[in-house]
Structure 1
Amino acid sequence: MEYQEIMKVLSDCGLGALVAADDWKICEVNEAAVRLLHGQEHNWLIGKYLFEIAEPLCAEPEQKMYAYIGFNEYLLRCPTPAAHNLPPDCRLIVFRAATRDAQCDMFEHALEQVSDAVIMCDEETRISFLNNACIKMDEVVPGDVIGEKNEDVYEPLDGQELIIPCSIREKQVFLSRRQIYTTRYNKNVDITANTYPIIQNGQVLGGYSIMKDWSAVDSLNKKIIELQAKLIAQSDPGKQRSGKSALSAKYHFNDITHISASIETLIEQCHRAAKSDSSVMIYGETGTGKELFAQSIHNDSRRAKGPFLAINCAAIPENLLEGLLFGTEKGAYTGAEHRQGYFEQANNGTLMLDELNSMNINLQAKLLRVLQDGVVRRVGGASAIHVDVRVLSNLNIPPMQAIEENKLRRDLFYRLGVVNLTIPPLRERKEDIPLLAKQFIMKCNVRLSRNVRGLDPATVDLFNAYSWPGNIRELEHIIEHAINILPDDEPMIKPDYIPKYMSESQSLLHPVSRPAESPALRSSLNSTMQDVERSTICKVLREHGGNISATARVLKMSRQNLQYRIRKYGIQVKELLM
């Protein structure tokens, strides 16, 4: 179709179109373009330069640059249809009114910044929007749940119907309604919500909830009670003080960001382990969040109101570490003072030994004696002091490797490793990366006063290809690095702003090695496991007609994780259904 005919058809459809030379001088315009650009007549626009009138229309449509042409009026460039017979060295530019689009983007931006969680659904209860606070509270990845029915993502635990579907169906507002639910990823949430149907001219368009995390409100109430108790105790020194020790753990299991099944299973094990007083040994690579799990176990135990102390065995010299653990008596050595050790300070609470494998083997023997007898003797002291302390420990190498390398006494392992927990590295739970990245982006936005929206798809691919030797701590570092150097007008983190070592690292090509494992055996096992995984994915995809969401639910993984594996194994979904 010739360009003149195309321009007329576009004008009839309300779309502006103009022909511009290579230097952006306007040669021809249609009726809609004159109206949208506020021209008095055709000749007013002919000969002018487009970048002087509406420069954003010179950008490619994929960039989605709004042209501001007056109060609350915006234009947006559209993809250009193929046109014949264009004048030499000229191009066809198509654009439309986009005030509603711009307003929608501005409203969405405002909702992203509010502290209350907001979720919006269409008339069929399909999720259309989640703000940052909702993503953080529910620990869901928008790409996995947008377009899904509300009831397919959330399940009530209090015997009540989900609020939004009820509000849409009954066309009623529900205020200050409390609800307890679990997400598809087994995150339990307790909220109070104001829920509204969206009704226009009698038609129900959807509904939305504005929610507060009830656990946060409850925690705030408890803090108020504790502060009141402290004020009473200060006004009456003879009155015994109550409440938590100042030496406390701040993290709970709800603070562990995840959607992966492996972390969910680990949290369930930790919940069960927290109910007893047995010692727990946690193994995880550097940066996996071992102390986060240790503090959560303490806060979920009967000792939660008691003190929680942590000591890094790798950061303190051996001669000082013994005194810090067991305490000292004045004169025990030059400069020694009468001082309680960590075991005494943690009485009726929990003591965490960080990087236990860095503790001197001789000191481990003394530690074992304390654990066996429940008694400590201060350095330079003779009296026995009985203590009631639960000991948690962590290692950054596997326990058996630590024993073989003489970094951990076998008998101490049996004493401290009654419960053994392993935190999977990030490379084995890559479905958690988008959610973790989103949390770190929101955290950095607050601290650095930025407004970064998320990860560019190319960055997600780069993250999925990387082996993450530094795990979650490395991911947080990379996000903060990127936001620091990101231009102020760039809303997405693109690969250009990721540290170069990621793309240059050999870890992209070679997975992190494991000790005492035959390369041939490892290759054979990996190949077999991958074949089984690929076959299972193909089978479930066929059974569900190629539906990604349904397949992901059956396989108990996120949509993003499933799509990553489909790309990884080169699965052609359409061919499976033929």
Structure 2
Amino acid sequence: MEKESYCYSTILNTINEGVILSNPKGYITFYNKQIQKFEGLDAANVVGRHMTEVYNITEEVSEHLSILKTKKPIIDRYQKFLTADNRELYSIGSSYPIYKNGEIIALFTVCRNLTKIQELLNKTMQVQEKALGNTYIEDMGNNTRFQLGDIVTNSSVMLEVLEKARKAALVNAPVLVWGETGTGKELFVQGIHNENPLTRKEPFIAVNCAAIPESLLESLLFGTTKGSFTGSVETAGLFEQAHKGTLYLDEINSMPLNLQAKLLRAVQEKKYRKLGGKEELPVKCRIISSTNLDPLHCVAKEMLRKDLYYRLSVLVLEIPPLAKRKEDIPLLMNHFINTFSAKYGKRVSRISFDLVDAFCNYPWSGNVRELEHVIESAITMINEEGILLPEHFPPSLRHKWENPLPPPIKTSANGLLEILDYTEKETIRKALEECNWNVSMSARRLKIGRQNLQYRMKKNNIRPPVIIT
């Protein structure tokens, strides 16, 4: 028995989780090494003492001791508390009773240190309060960077979405925005926030529901009350921080279903309770959510509660992928070239039509975000002449542009004509590029008249390079 006890102690002191064991009266009998490191206490000063002596709590608010009354374990409860030396710590813990012959003979809690995750999250929120990231766009003073007028588009489908967004901005009903990753959903959401005269001066608070653990997300959204669990302190949730502004729930379909139920109540009743609190607080903010999948597909696959979907989708905006608005690609190229040229102090004088054509024919599975990153990468590689060339772009794109193959030859009477047309077009294009698109010089090299060359350029739809403005 002594050997088994030693083995159990060794195992519990080796695992990454903190473990604390007490008898039914609340006196601590085991305190492993991980929880010692986590809380900064020495086992010699903890073992044998009552829980209320070690922690600044009473038996009524101690989760560990509460299971003596409830007879039920507490699973994955998020905790924020102060140590003996007033360090603020965060953990997720579960407490269990140990039964023997139908009686509780011990209580134990297993917890995991979330302090580093929470600190990172706090830093992210602090950065968000000042600006939302990119240094080349200034914060507007309410945690946003964009307005609807910043959306670069000339396509009819996007102009229609923009018009719907402007109408949605004028009312405070919930909005659900959906579109593929990289289409610019948050840009629209921020634009709606800034278009509304009632919200533009209020905070814009965004949270990615897929990036935060479930146990942390609930307390982050609703906040916590002092004494709601062992050593907990009062914290303001995102509902409270958003005040009369906008709370943006990105990837709402990634939120756990049980938490979706709590969110549904808050949206429906316009009231919520802090974690562990009894007082009902009013929901003052506007809620805008988004998904990267068709929300009806999310409902069908039980990723999104149907009742919550109906509450959040009073207004729905579908952002089309870049592949469905290819006419915007040259505009976006020009926009990002100007933006990143200014950011990196680079000069771009021109970009060939071939490159624009290649961009327009590329599928852009990552949408506008992929295009933006590709342009930024190329700008950092550009030469002193300021000419944007295929070699400045990532290999994944270049192989589609280099050494183009002629179109397949049809086995018909027109086969030779197709070959001749293709050869003429490529010969003229090559001569123009070698002569820096000087028509007179190119005509002399080809040994034809200037007007003849201009006619053939028009016939073959050969256009001069796009000059970056």
TM-score by length of 1: 0.44
Name the % identity: 44
Decide whether the 8 Å contact of 1:458 with 1:495 is kept in 2: no
The secondary structure found in structure 2 opposite 1:351 is strand
The secondary structure found in structure 2 opposite 1:397 is coil
- Per the alignment, residue 284 of structure 1 pairs with 179
- Per the alignment, residue 339 of structure 1 pairs with 235
Distance 1:385 1:426, change over 3 A: same
Task: Kindly provide the CA deviation profile for residues 490-529 of structure 1, in whole angstroms up to 9, marking residues without a partner as x.
Answer: x222222221212558xxxxxxxxxxxxxxxxxxxxxxxx
Consecutive unaligned residues in structure 2, runs of 5 or more: 1-138, 401-458, 462-469
Deviation of 1:480 (Å): 1.1
Task: Kindly provide the CA deviation profile for residues 407-450 of structure 1, in whole angstroms up to 9, marking residues without a partner as x.
Answer: 11111100001111100111111111111111111111112111
Decide whether the 8 Å contact of 1:307 with 1:350 is kept in 2: yes
Which amino acid in the other structure matches residue 362 of structure 1?
Answer: N
- Per the alignment, residue 226 of structure 2 pairs with 330
- Per the alignment, residue 460 of structure 1 pairs with 356
Decide whether the 8 Å contact of 2:176 with 2:316 is kept in 1: yes
Q: Distance in 2 between matches of 1:496 and 1:504?
A: 10
Deviation of 1:333 (Å): 4.0
- Per the alignment, residue 263 of structure 2 pairs with 367
Decide whether the 8 Å contact of 2:142 with 2:201 is kept in 1: no
Select which of 344, 347, 352 maps to 2:248. Answer: 352
Which amino acid in the other structure matches residue 481 of structure 1?
Answer: S
The secondary structure found in structure 2 opposite 1:401 is helix
Query: Does residue 307 of the first structure (1) align with residue 194 of the second (2)?
Result: no
The secondary structure found in structure 2 opposite 1:381 is coil
Select which of 144, 163, 170 maps to 1:249. Answer: 144
Deviation of 1:250 (Å): 2.9
Select which of 321, 335, 351 maps to 1:425. Answer: 321
Which amino acid in the other structure matches residue 275 of structure 1?
Answer: L
The secondary structure found in structure 1 opposite 2:236 is coil
The secondary structure found in structure 2 opposite 1:352 is strand
Deviation of 1:349 (Å): 1.5
Query: Does residue 400 of the first structure (1) align with residue 274 of the second (2)?
Result: no
Q: Distance in 1 between matches of 2:231 and 2:191?
A: 37
The secondary structure found in structure 2 opposite 1:337 is coil
Deviation of 1:364 (Å): 0.4
Decide whether the 8 Å contact of 1:441 with 1:454 is kept in 2: no
Decide whether the 8 Å contact of 1:323 with 1:379 is kept in 2: yes
Q: Distance in 1 between matches of 2:280 and 2:387?
A: 61
Decide whether the 8 Å contact of 1:283 with 1:422 is kept in 2: yes
The secondary structure found in structure 1 opposite 2:286 is strand
The secondary structure found in structure 2 opposite 1:450 is coil
Which amino acid in the other structure matches residue 347 of structure 2?
Answer: N
Q: Distance in 2 between matches of 1:371 and 1:413?
A: 11
Consecutive unaligned residues in structure 1, runs of 5 or more: 1-243, 506-570, 574-578
Decide whether the 8 Å contact of 2:161 with 2:319 is kept in 1: yes
Select which of 247, 252, 265 maps to 2:160. Answer: 265
Q: Distance in 1 between matches of 2:145 and 2:339?
A: 17
Task: Kindly provide the CA deviation profile for residues 124-167 of structure 1, in whole angstroms up to 9, marking residues without a partner as x.
Answer: xxxxxxxxxxxxxxxxxxxxxxxxxxxxxxxxxxxxxxxxxxxx
Task: Kindly provide the CA deviation profile for residues 62-84 of structure 1, in whole angstroms up to 9, marking residues without a partner as x.
Answer: xxxxxxxxxxxxxxxxxxxxxxx
Q: Distance in 2 between matches of 1:357 and 1:504?
A: 37
Query: Does residue 498 of the first structure (1) align with residue 388 of the second (2)?
Result: no
- Per the alignment, residue 331 of structure 2 pairs with 435
Which structure carries more relative contact order (alpha carbon 8 Å, separation 6+)?
2
Select which of 281, 297, 306 maps to 1:410. Answer: 306
Query: Does residue 380 of the first structure (1) align with residue 267 of the second (2)?
Result: no
Distance 1:418 1:260, change over 3 A: same
Deviation of 1:312 (Å): 1.0
Q: Distance in 2 between matches of 1:572 and 1:448?
A: 37
The secondary structure found in structure 2 opposite 1:484 is helix
Q: Distance in 2 between matches of 1:504 and 1:363?
A: 46
Which amino acid in the other structure matches residue 281 of structure 1?
Answer: L
Q: Distance in 1 between matches of 2:290 and 2:343?
A: 30
Decide whether the 8 Å contact of 1:257 with 1:435 is kept in 2: yes
Q: Distance in 1 between matches of 2:399 and 2:303?
A: 34
Q: Distance in 1 between matches of 2:356 and 2:219?
A: 48
| Further displaced range: 246-255 or 474-483 | 246-255
Q: Distance in 1 between matches of 2:271 and 2:140?
A: 22
Instruction: Map residues 481-520 of structure 1 onto 2, 5 A cutoff.
Output: 481-489=377-385, 491-504=386-399
Which amino acid in the other structure matches residue 399 of structure 1?
Answer: P
- Per the alignment, residue 390 of structure 1 pairs with 286
Deviation of 1:246 (Å): 5.4
